[in-house]
Every structure is written in structure tokens, then in C-alpha cells.
Structure 1
Amino acid sequence: MDKLLAALLIVLLFFIPILMKKTIETEPEVVATEEPCTIYITVEGVDKPLPLEEYVIGVVAGEMPMTFHDEALRAQAIAARTYVLQATENGKKPIEATVSAQVYKTEEERKDRWGKEAKKNEKRLRGIVESTAGDTIVYGDEMITAMFFSTSNGKTETAQNYSGSSIPYLQSVESPGEEIVAAEVERRIEMPIVQWNKKLGSSWNADRFKNLQLVRNHTGRVQKAVSGEFEMSGREMREALGLASTDFNIAYDVTNKIVIIDTIGYGHGVGMSQYGAEAFAREGWTAENIITYYYSGTKIKKFELHESECLKSPTLANNSK
């Protein structure tokens, strides 16, 4: 009996450490990884901040017609996302909903605009934007200022000509085929001389028009207008007179005292032409082809903002026309 008890004791002494080890073992430690957070965009005039991708949907709807090719709409989504992230410092500042920045349309405004096509358009647009989720345009490692505009005169404008600052990815490129896809490329304004003088804040007569010289840059746009002591940049004249573009010609009807202004294109001309994007998309170009063509030397890169960089709550925080 004593031998049996001794044997049992030896067995217990052998198994007790094993049993104890099993009871104190813990689950392997799981290292938490940061997940990308949702960026919110504060749009002036809109009640509450919007998730970034929801905002992009509203911009594409506001900036391009749904008759455009999917690839043109994708290119617009990528440009719009890049523009707002750069302009708002990843959602820390508010942005306007107008052509001074990017046109944004709420879901209700989209329904009103699209009418019977609203449900179909909304589904299509959401799919298009989702297919580009997180895509932004970078030059080197830096997100670009993704300027865009409606229609060119056959070439885009350089940042140097527009603002005086040279930006490597905002150079002039050919933009063919826009006259085929755009309903209107050339426009005419007839302005009474009284209105002309009021807008320019000066006094013009027939002689001043006769001496007017429009000095053009290599993209065909007016860099400056000169007549006697009068001198003004093409951009300043466009803004003062409310012209469609800086590619303009001016004539004066002496008999009727009317200034006739013809323009080609619509918008500042810098960056991506929206109707140019549509023309290229119809030729089979992808959104990436379009983006990297209009923004020289760039590439598309996924953007992520991790939780440690996120704003704790959305703050109530410009694409030139």
C-alpha cells in the first residue's frame, strides 16, 4: 500500500507542473493596427460635414454631365478628391461649393437636376466614384493642386502664364477634339461702350480701340492688352469683363457704339480640361491616362489618413474658375 501511494505521489509531482502551466498560459497578444479613418469635408452652405467620398460624388455631379463617359467621370473624381484634400488640409478647413473652388451638388439637388433619371444616375455615379476610392494625384511624394476647367482653345494654359508661378505639373498640353464633344466652344458678347468703360474703370473711344494690341502667349491666350497708356493682363480683363476665357478678340462698332468680344474656350485653362477629358475618353483613354496627360509628370496614389492623424470630430472648417 505504501509503495502504491508513493507511486501515485511521484505521478502527481510529474503532472502538477504541466497542469499549472496550462492554467497560466494566456492568449497570444494581438497588436492593434491603425485603420484609415473617415475624413469629413465641411462645405460652406451645407448643414453638416460630409464624408470625403460622399463629397466627391456631389462634386462630380456638379462638375460634369452624366452624359460623359465613365472614364472622364473617374478622372474628375480623382481630380476632385485631390483638390479638396489639398485645399482643406485633409478636411481641416471649409471649402466653397461654387466655381471658386469646386461645384458641389447635394443629393436633393441631384434629384432635381436629373429628374426621372435620378435613381439610375445616382447608382452609376456612386459606382464610378467608388471605383476610384482613395485615388489622388501626386507629383513626387506631394499631392498636387489639381486645377481643372471646362473647355480649352485646343491647348491648356500654364501656371506660369496664369499666375506668374511656374508649377512643373501644370504645363501646356494639346487638347484636341473638344469642338466635337462640347456644345459651345466659341462665344460672342456685344457690350455697349458705356458698360465697357464702367467695367474697366476707364474711358475708351474709337482711337483707343484702333490702337489696341492683344499680346498673346504660346497657348494663344491674351497675356496682356495694351493701348496707349492703358495696360491690363488678359486674366484681369477676363475677370473685369466677365469673359468666358482669356483667348479673346475685340472689335468696336463705331456706328452703334458697341464692343464685340469673341472668345474661344471656357475657364482659366489650367490643368485638366473637362471636355478634353471626355474627348480622350471617347478615344479609349482610361482615367489614369487622362490624369497623367493633363498633369505632367504625376502619378495616381492611394491616400490614407490613419486614426492618429484624424480630427477628433469634423470641424467647421479654392479651384479657380
Structure 2
Amino acid sequence: MRKEPNLFKVCILSLVFAFIVGLVGIETAWATGTSLKIGLATNQRTGYVFSKSMLYFKDASGKSFKASGKVLLKTNSPKKIYVNDKSATLPLAITSKTPIYWENRPYRGWLQIYPSSQGFNVINVISVEQYLRGVLKMEVNPAWQMEALKAQAVVARTYALRNKGKHSSQGFDLCALPHCQVYRGINAEDPKLDRAITSTKGLVLYYGSKLAVTPYHSDSGGYTANVWDVWSGNIPYLKAQKEPFSYVSPYSNWRAVIPLGELESKLKKNGINLGKIQRITIAKRDEGGRAVSILIEGTGGRKTIKASKFRMIAGSDKIRSTNFEIKGVGKNRSTPTGRLSNQLSEEAVLNDHDGKLLSSLVKEGVFSTEELMDMLVHPERKPHYLRVALQRQSGTKSKTSYYFASSNDNALVLEGRGWGHGVGMSQWGAKSMAEHGWDFKKILMYYYPGTKLKKIY
């Protein structure tokens, strides 16, 4: 007589099976799509790999072996590497059933050790969706609105696929640094960001028949930049755009002080030898008020360069954006050029009319505390501050020049807004849009007008 199955055991086994299938489905979902090679480290001579399960190695000659625990990688000759005491030929593939650690940081996918001119490069081979899990937290705050996070997922995915092969000469597609997109592997994963990635899975931006160019930055300061003013080329959907909503970010206002001697040295290192700097001028601004070009005059000549290039030379960590005004500090006088009003005196000392006008502007609260203190300590700068106040009231920005007699006594002072190159999507701007009810599609169409969303897998 046939024994009837135990219904309780059947239910338990069914649940276990469903759970396992579910896990496989999740991993399969993450694994779909194009794979990427991400450069984690370059020109290494030694380093450690580790996994909580067995590590499997296969070299260029087809030789395979395995090891457990913390494994030392070391090279002292081109295309050769030692895995603990075993010799292998590069490139070397490293796989495991669990995440692999490179120098104490865990990564999904698998690692490839690729030969370089000074040792070896460490490459993480991973699917696009898994890659994004290690990127988004480095770019946006998981506490932000979901629609802003979705927008970031789409532009980061598009950027990665559009720039695939950017570092092909080094054996990988993208680096893990700000030069491409900051990538930190499993350490950067977050459940809310995972939802933003899965809900936009495979979605990218296209322009015509090609993947769109999707640069992004932290904060536009109220107005994005034209791509042709910052880099080059005429990409119609990367144009200056006024932010639809005002917002405040940690980068809304900043101040940079750069000693002229330091600036002269940096210019010289970049092939711009103008001697001692005598004058710096914002030669051109765009429709949003961003500096487009800078005129630098020195004892050895004069040169006009893009403001974006000037920012990178001086230090993008100091000059946070090209949305700035120039100010001068030191013992020497500063003389703004240009006349805004027939009433405005060009004298170093204000006449009675301009003095009364300046006093009324002070009472109106036009100046900051720092500016009031500077006028008190340096009364000879009052003509400059009168011009600044009139420019603010008229809504215009001047092509301000500053004269410097000695690099030892002066520094260039900039006051600006925003952080980043300004092209494409402003992350803080996207946050503001999401707070006002915009969905991720509307956000993307605003920053990249004329592009289309397309699901590629």
C-alpha cells in the first residue's frame, strides 16, 4: 500500500524551493545587461585578495589552481605574477562563490589582474546593474526623494555605457575615481538606492540613434552651463538652463583665496608663463552669469583662457564652479573697470553725491558683513563697493579687473555659487525638482531636452 506524503513536509520543501528560486531570480536580475571592466587600482607591485570561500585562479596560459584565506599577489617582471608561491602568467582571472576583497574592500563579480608598464592593474568585471549599486551612494544621498535617485540611476547607467572603453589602453572600461564615476563596490550599496536601480533597470537616454552624453554635477548655483563654453562641441541638449526652483545646498555660496604666487606657478606648469600677474579680468559671461573666459595680464604678456580651464589649473577643489565674481585682497588698490552710471565717480575718493549714495545702500542691507568690514579697514575700496552695489541692483555682472603690484602681498579672491562643471544635470537641482513633485522622467527631460528614454534590456 502506497504511503501518502506528509503535507507539512511538502509545504516546507515547497517554501524552501521557492525561496531558492527567488534568490536565483534576484541574482539573475542583477546580472543581466552588459558587463563592465572597472579599474580598481593601477600599477601595483603587490596586494592582497581574499574571499570567505575558495578563490579560483586561471592564468593566460590556461593553468588553474585554487587558494583560500588571504592571498598575496606580487610581481617583479612584466606579465608574470606570483600568487603566494605559485607563478602565473598575466592576465589572471580570480573567481569565487562569494564577494572578493581587494585590499579589504569587497566586490561582486570577479577580478582580473592585468599587466601594466609598472606592475599590474586590478580590474573588477561586473554587470552594469551591479556596478551602479557601488556608484549611486557616492553621488547622491539615499535620504533624497526616490524620483531624484531614479534620475541619477539613469544618467549614471547612460554615462557608464556611453563611456565604455574610456580606459581601454589600461585594460578596463572605466576607473573607480571621479574621472569616470566614483565606485566603491559592496561598501556603497544601499537598499533604497537598489530600488531606484531596479525600478529603472535597463533605462538609458538616447539622442537620435546613439546613447546621449550625460554629464552631471553637484550644484549649478542656479543656472547650468553650455557644454561648448566648458569643453567643446555643439551638443544641442547640453545647454545653459535656469533652475526651475530655488534651493539651498552646502555649496550655495563659497569663497576661495588663492595666493598670486601659487597661481603664477600653476599657470607656468600648464604652459602659460605670464610673469608676475598684474590684472585678472572676467572677459566674458554666459546668459546665466557664469564666467566663460578669463583674461590674465602679467609682466610677461597677456592671455585669455576658458574659465573652466582656469578653474582646473587653479584647483577645482578651490574654485568650485565657474559661477563666480572676482575680488582682490592685499595692500594694493583694486580698480574695477567700466561705468554703470553717469553719477558714478572714477575718483579713488568718493565725491559727496556718491558718498551719500553708498551710505543709503549700506542702510538698505546691500552689503555682507565681510564687505562692510573690508570698507571700514580699506576706505579706498569704497568706489569698488559702490559699483558692486549698483550692479547687484541692476541685475548685471561686470567684467571686473583687479590690479596687483606684488605677488608677495596679494591673493586672488573669488566668491561664487555651486559646485562642479555645471553641464547637464545638477544633483541638488534634481533633488529640488523631486521635492516639487517632478518624476524622474520630467527631471531628465529638463536637463537633457530632446533626448529619449529607451529600455535596452
Q: Is 1:157 equivalent to 2:225 in the alignment?
A: yes
Residue type of the alignment partner of 1:226: L
Partner residue of 1:40 out of 35, 39, 58 = 35
Tell me which residue corresponds to 1:23.
none
The answer to whether the 8 A contact 1:159-1:167 is kept is: yes
The answer to whether the 8 A contact 1:222-1:248 is kept is: yes
Residue type of the alignment partner of 1:247: N
SS in 1 for 2:184: coil
The answer to whether the 8 A contact 1:57-1:77 is kept is: no
Tell me which residue corresponds to 2:311.
238
SS in 1 for 2:413: strand
Residue type of the alignment partner of 1:42: K
Distance (Å, rounded) in 1 between the aligned partners of 2:447 and 2:433? 11
* TM-score normalised by length of structure 1: 0.73
Q: Structure 1 213/56 Cα, relative in aligned 2: closer, same or farther at 3 Å?
A: closer
Q: Structure 1 128/37 Cα, relative in aligned 2: closer, same or farther at 3 Å?
A: closer
The answer to whether the 8 A contact 1:158-1:170 is kept is: yes
The answer to whether the 8 A contact 2:251-2:417 is kept is: no
Q: Tell me the CA shift for residue 89 of structure 1.
A: 5.8
Q: Is 1:83 equivalent to 2:131 in the alignment?
A: no
The structure carrying a bigger helix percent of its residues is 1
Partner residue of 1:102 out of 150, 171, 181 = 181
Q: Is 1:302 equivalent to 2:455 in the alignment?
A: yes
Tell me which residue corresponds to 2:324.
248
Higher relative contact order (CA 8 A, sep 6+): 1
The answer to whether the 8 A contact 1:39-1:91 is kept is: no
SS in 1 for 2:423: coil
**How many residue pairs align between the two structures?**
255
Distance (Å, rounded) in 2 between the aligned partners of 1:186 and 1:138? 34
The answer to whether the 8 A contact 1:248-1:263 is kept is: yes
Distance (Å, rounded) in 1 between the aligned partners of 2:240 and 2:435? 22
Q: Tell me the CA shift for residue 101 of structure 1.
A: 1.4
Q: Tell me the CA shift for residue 179 of structure 1.
A: 3.4
Distance (Å, rounded) in 1 between the aligned partners of 2:282 and 2:238? 27
Distance (Å, rounded) in 2 between the aligned partners of 1:176 and 1:245? 19
Please give the per-residue CA displacement for 1:83-123, whole angstroms capped at 9, x wherever unaligned.
Answer: 11111069985101222111112212x27xxxxxxxxxx22
Equivalent positions of 1:204-283 (< 5 A) are: 204-205=276-277, 207-209=278-280, 212-228=281-297, 229-242=302-315, 243-255=319-331, 256-283=409-436
Distance (Å, rounded) in 2 between the aligned partners of 1:244 and 1:149? 11
The answer to whether the 8 A contact 1:42-1:91 is kept is: no
- How many percent of aligned residue pairs carry the same amino acid? 28
Q: Tell me the CA shift for residue 164 of structure 1.
A: 2.7
Tell me which residue corresponds to 2:83.
none
The answer to whether the 8 A contact 2:225-2:422 is kept is: yes
Distance (Å, rounded) in 2 between the aligned partners of 1:59 and 1:213? 36
Partner residue of 1:146 out of 211, 214, 217 = 214
Distance (Å, rounded) in 2 between the aligned partners of 1:86 and 1:143? 6
Partner residue of 2:444 out of 267, 291, 297 = 291
Distance (Å, rounded) in 2 between the aligned partners of 1:171 and 1:100? 22
Q: Which has the larger radius of gyration?
A: 1
Please give the root-mean-square deviation of Cα atoms over the aligned residues, in Å: 2.4
Distance (Å, rounded) in 2 between the aligned partners of 1:185 and 1:203? 34
Tell me which residue corresponds to 2:345.
none
Q: Tell me the CA shift for residue 189 of structure 1.
A: 1.2
Q: Tell me the CA shift for residue 258 of structure 1.
A: 2.3
The structure carrying a bigger strand percent of its residues is 2
SS in 2 for 1:42: strand
Q: Is 1:185 equivalent to 2:241 in the alignment?
A: no
Q: Tell me the CA shift for residue 299 of structure 1.
A: 1.5
* TM-score normalised by length of structure 2: 0.52
Note the residue ranges of structure 1 that are not aligned, 5 or more in a row: 1-35, 112-121, 305-321
